[in-house]
Amino acid sequence: MITRHEDLRPLNAKEELVLAALRKLGKPTSAYGLIEELKAEGIKAPPTVYRALGRLIEGGLVHRLESLNAFVACTHAHSQDAVAFAVCDDCGTVTEFESEQLSQILADWARKAGFGLRQKTLELRGRCSSCSRGSK
């Protein structure tokens, strides 16, 4: 399994288009939202987008946000730390961050529970500071 950007084979044209669209949009987007965004580029079939997303996820360039059933471009290179996403319920902003401490807590729990940990991703839901300030 590819876990670091530098292990990724060169992207094909469709993968490049999907990644560029996610970066341009700058927000979580469904596969069907990507199809709508990429129609003019000739990408119209869901399998094409899902294949591209699968490769981009495998390479660590894109993440799937389970709670939103959406995809977002990665904002930084990853180490072995846990990746977390703070999702604002009001404006939809997503902030990605890593935490060595969180990673250690999750790894310790998994070891004690005999759980074979494959991935360490956490989604936090709430209100961002901008939306919180706006409601005061």
Instruction: Dump pLDDT digits (tens) for 102-126.
Output: 889 999 999 999 999 888 889 999 9
Report if residue 136 sits inside a domain. Answer: no
Whether 56 contacts 18, CB under 8 Å = yes
Residue 131, pLDDT above cutoff 50 = yes
**Judgement on whether residues 58 and 100 belong to the same structural domain of the protein:** no
Q: Domain holding 18: CATH number?
A: 1.10.10.10
End-to-end CA distance of the chain: 47
pTM for the whole structure: 0.81
**Judgement on whether residues 117 and 62 belong to the same structural domain of the protein:** no
Total domain count, the chain: 2
Segment 83-108 mean pLDDT: 90
Q: Any bridge partners for residue 72, and if so which?
A: 63
**Judgement on whether residues 23 and 64 belong to the same structural domain of the protein:** yes
d(Cα 118, Cα 114) in Å, to the nearest integer? 12
Report if residue 60 sits inside a domain. Answer: yes
Report if residue 112 sits inside a domain. Answer: yes
**Judgement on whether residues 86 and 48 belong to the same structural domain of the protein:** no
Pairing label, strands 82-88, 94-99: antiparallel
**Judgement on whether residues 86 and 31 belong to the same structural domain of the protein:** no
What domain range is 120 assigned to? 82-128
**Judgement on whether residues 62 and 100 belong to the same structural domain of the protein:** no
